[in-house]
Structure formats: structure tokens, C-alpha cells
Amino acid sequence: MKKFLAYLLTVIMVLSMVSFASASELAGTYDITVWVAAEVVDLTLAQIEEFNQTNEFGIVFNATVEPVSEADAATQMITDVEAGGDLFCFAQDQFARLVQAGALAKLGVKAGETVSAANAPVVVSAATVGDTLYAYPLTADNGYFMYYDKSVVSEDHIDSLEAIIADCEAAEKYFAFEMNTSAWYLASFFFATGCESTWETDAEGKFVSVKDTFNSPEGLIAVKGMKKLVDSPFHLSSSSGAEFSSGAAVVVTGTWDFMTVQGILGDNMGVADLPSFEVDGQIYHLGSFNGCKLMGVKPQVDPARAAALHQLAQYLTGEKCQAERFAERAWGPSNLNVQASEAVQANAGLVALNAQAPYSIPQGNIHGSWWDIAKVIGDDVKAATDDAGLQAALDNYQAKIADLFKLDTNALLFVGAWNGWNNADDTDTYYFKDNSLTLDVPESDYMGGRIVNPGDWGTDKGFAQVVTGVEYIKDLGADNPDNNIVFAEAGNYTVTINGTEISIVKN
């Protein structure tokens, strides 16, 4: 109610064109701590100084800028929000954890509008939960591609995973692609075959459902491809550009390693999009995550201080500062204007990233535990000796995903067939939580599905068990040997399981 009132008042205010806080109300000196990556500490200090000089509000920041790794910031913030930086930068995969931990202050209305307009939509949606922005986009280059040593891997071979592996083995050089320790990299194979893991949250950032198709015929193809790589004696599970000086001929990593690799390989350095692999005569181009880095504002007690900090965050992630960071450190911008600039378009690292872009998937808001669950696949695939072992790895993975929602053992997921059964691209999977789930059934030829146990496609409960809401589903009689639940019309339904009975309510 309170929230609704707040929105209402906001709308009224915007309508009546009353300006927000006037300049003088924000004026003051604030002692703040800012956490940024080590390499931009000095730059950030200078940028804050410039903000102090130029801002129209009379805000002066006494800033302490600390080098805190973007991979580390979330863990620190979650341990103790109060002691954390007032502004802090983090990699996108930690966004969900931070929102849940209450470590991110929502953006105000005006800031939200400005940020949404100025930055790439993919990046904006990465910082959004429900309809609210929780953080400021900082970069849009958090993806990976392939660096290779031209003297080892011939340029004709860079399109084929198999050929690269053969080249590496022949030269006794390593192919570094982080497979046992990072879900971020190994998801590449799954994206190649069209699998996805898309997570839904409610307005508070709590995960309510997931559409995950890693455990599918396509997923099996993906792990078969992965098996080719991890079984090679010259595969190395690493994503460090420095491996080129320790016997690597190929490293899959991102723009941040550009200088290091160039320093080691010199003219022999090649960059390219990821290769393709072949399973059963079909070619699949490796996919990738396309993520970003964000800057968050710590929740504040004092409104003036909060507003002042948001102004600074907006400035630091704004066009000018992003351009400066690109110029000094080659950080790929998320700001549309900077992205369009010639220098950015010509940057070699970003060019390779762009070559990979058509095969990449925007990194959405993913459950923090997914990274732990999925990274196990690499070791599991390596240990597998046959296709059954590979399938077991996927079953294992899916069981753990289901476990995340603490599902009970008899009613687990609803597989919707509206996009076609099992022919995979788009089998829609919904997870029950507390015995209930909400389905969006689209208009399609067959608006049916079944309730199954994870890792088992046989129907656990279906049409015969529906007690309440029979009016919403079709009775197909003998045409329904699998006991599927087939909806009569498209719409939004809530399915609840009560012991052995199912009730359906139309919303």
C-alpha cells in the first residue's frame, strides 16, 4: 500500500512538472567510500574531483577510493552492508545476490529514466528487477572470445574446435578454456545447441521460476562437444591470458587480457570468435555470455546523502566517464553514444567480442547458486565414460536446480508443450514452489503439458488428478494416453497440488 501510494504520488508529481530536489537541498560535503577495480582507482579519483568542480548541486565528496575486485565486491557487501563502499562496482553475475541481500538501493525515477535512455537495452535489463533499476551500467564488455597463437593454430582452422584441438595436440600446446571451475565459460557449449537457463524473479528479486533446458537432447549434444575438449590431454581449464607464456596456444578469455596476450605473443596474436564443433554431422557454433559490469549505490539512511550519491553514480557511469575509461583502460562502454564512437568501433578486442556477439546470449538475472551448480558439469562430463554418463551429468544438474526451489518429491515440474514437445528448442519448463506455480499458456496448437519428476519425462500427475478447475481443461479421452493436462484456452493459470489432487485456477 505504501509503495503504491509512493508511485501514485510520483506520478502526480511528474505530471504536475514539479521539479525534484532543488540544487541547494543536496549541497553539502559528504565523506564517502568508493570501491572500484584496482586499475581505475586513480582515474575514478580524478573523475570524482571533476564532479565536485562541475556539479550544479553544490555537492562536495570527500571520497576514499579503494581497490576492490569486481568479482569480490558482492561477497564483501553481503558479509556486512554497512561497512561496504557507498558506491561499488561488481560483475553482473552477482547482481541477484546483492539484490537479495539488500545491498543495492533502487534508482530514483529520474535517474532510472536517464540511465535507461542512455545505455544499451540489454545492459539496462540486466540491472532491472521487476520494473525497477537497481544499479548503474558501467561496461558492456563482459564476454569472452578466443585468443590464439598464429604460429601454432593455422588461420584456416580457427572455425573448428576439432581442428584446433588437433593443432594443439600436434604441437603439444595447451588449449585453455575454463571448463571445471566456471559455469560462465562452460555454458558456451549449451548455448551452441540452443539450450537456455532463464530465471524469473518477483518484484523483490526473489527467484520464483526457471526455464532451463540444459537437460534435453540438445544439452546432450552440447556435452558431447564438451567431452571432445575436456578429454584432450592438452586441454587446460583456465581463462588467464598469461597461460600463453606457460605453453598455451589458445585461451578463451575477454578483453581484459588483451594487453597481456599482446605482450606475450606480439605479432603472433590472433583473436577470433569461438569455433564450432561437430556432433553427428551437425555443426554448432559455440555461444557465450554477453554480460556487463554494474555500479551500485549502498542503501542510505539520509535522503540527501542518498540523492547526492545517486548523482555521483550517474555521473561516473555517464557518457563522459565511460569514454574516459575506454580511452585509458579500454573498458567496453555500455553507453550508446560511446559505443557508437569510432575509437570503440575500431578497438581490436571489442571487434573480436562483436564477432562473437551474434552467438552470444544476454546474461540475464541468474540465481547465485546456479554458478555453483552448473560449474560441476565440466568435471562430471570429464568423468563420464559413455553417453549414459553424460546424460547422468545432466540429470544430476537438473535435480540440483529443482532442489534450489526446495520442491517436494512428488510434484516437481510442469513441462509445457505449447512450443512443441521435446523437439527441444522451446519445451517450456516450470518449477513448482510450495506445491504451486503460475503458468502463462500462450495460444498454440496444443496448449497442454504434464507434471513430471525431474529427469523423468513420464507423467507423474495429470488430467486424471485435476479436481478443481476442470472447466479450464479439455477432456481428450483416448487421445490423451499420457494423462496430459490440456488447456482449453490461452491464459494465465495457477496450478496447485494438494496431495494427489490438482486444482487449477484461472487468473
Please report, as residue ranges, which positions from 307 to 346 form the binding site for another protein (by CB under 8 A). Answer: 307, 310
Query: Smallest gap, in angstroms, from Cβ of residue 40 to another protein?
Result: 10
**Window 191-230: contact mask with another protein (x via CB under 8 A):** ----------------------------------------
Under the binding rule (CB under 8 A), the answer on residue 79 touching another protein is yes
Is the CB of residue 476 less than 8 Å from the CB of residue 417?
no
Distance CA 254, CA 236 (A): 17
Residue span binding another protein (CB under 8 A) among the ranges 67-75, 216-224, 331-339, 469-477: 67-75
Minimum CB separation of residue 170 from another protein in Å reads 13
Sequence-distant (≥ 6) Cβ neighbours of residue 328 within 8 angstroms: 40, 43
Return the C-alpha cell found at 289: 555470455
Binds another protein by CB under 8 A, chosen from 3, 156, 267, 458: 3
- What is the dihedral sign for C-alpha 49, 54, 56, 58? positive
Sequence-ordered list of residues with C-beta below 8 angstroms from that of 169, at least 6 positions apart, any chain: 232, 233, 234
- Least Å distance, CB 282 to another protein, is 27
Check residue 246 for interaction with another protein (CB under 8 A): yes
In the bound complex, what is the minimum distance in angstroms from residue 126's beta carbon to another protein? 18
State yes or no: residue 444 binds another protein (CB under 8 A). Answer: no
Q: Pick from 499, 482, 188, 141: which is nearest to 338 by CA?
A: 141
Interface residue with another protein, options 37, 87, 252, 272 (CB under 8 A): 37
Binding string to another protein for residues 366 to 405, with x set by CB under 8 A, is what?
-xxx-xxx-xxx-xx-xx--------xx-xxxxxx-xxx-
Q: Which of 28, 420, 455, 491 binds another protein (CB under 8 A)?
A: 455
Site for another protein contains 102 (CB under 8 A): yes
Question: 473 — phi, psi (to 5°)?
Answer: -120, 155
User: Pick from 44, 48, 63, 70: which binds another protein (CB under 8 A)?
Assistant: 70
DSSP assignment of 121-142 equals: HHHHHHTEETTEE-SEEEEEEE
Give whichever of 189 and 359 is closer to another protein, judged by the CB atom.
189
Instruction: State the nearest-atom distance from the C-beta of 348 to another protein, in Å.
Output: 18
Q: Is 243 in the site for another protein (CB under 8 A)?
A: yes
3-state secondary structure 17-66: CCCCCCHHHHCEEEEEEEEECHHHHHHHHHHHHHHHHHCCCCEEEEEEEE
241 in contact with another protein (CB under 8 A): yes
User: Using CA of residue 175, residue 177, residue 179, residue 180, what is the dihedral sign?
Assistant: positive
**DSSP secondary-structure letter at 443?**
S
**Residue 179 vs residues 67, 156, 169, 253, 380: alpha-carbon distances, Å:** 28, 25, 18, 12, 10
**Do the beta carbons of residue 209 and residue 401 sit within 8 Å?**
no
Identified binder of another protein from the candidate list 226, 306, 417, 486, rule CB under 8 A = 306
Q: Does 248 contact another protein by CB under 8 A?
A: yes
Size of the site for another protein (CB under 8 A): 106
Smallest separation, CB 425 to another protein (Å): 24
Sole window of 34-42, 187-195, 320-328, 422-430 interacting with another protein (rule: CB under 8 A): 34-42
The one segment of 32-40, 136-144, 343-351, 434-442 that binds another protein by CB under 8 A: 32-40
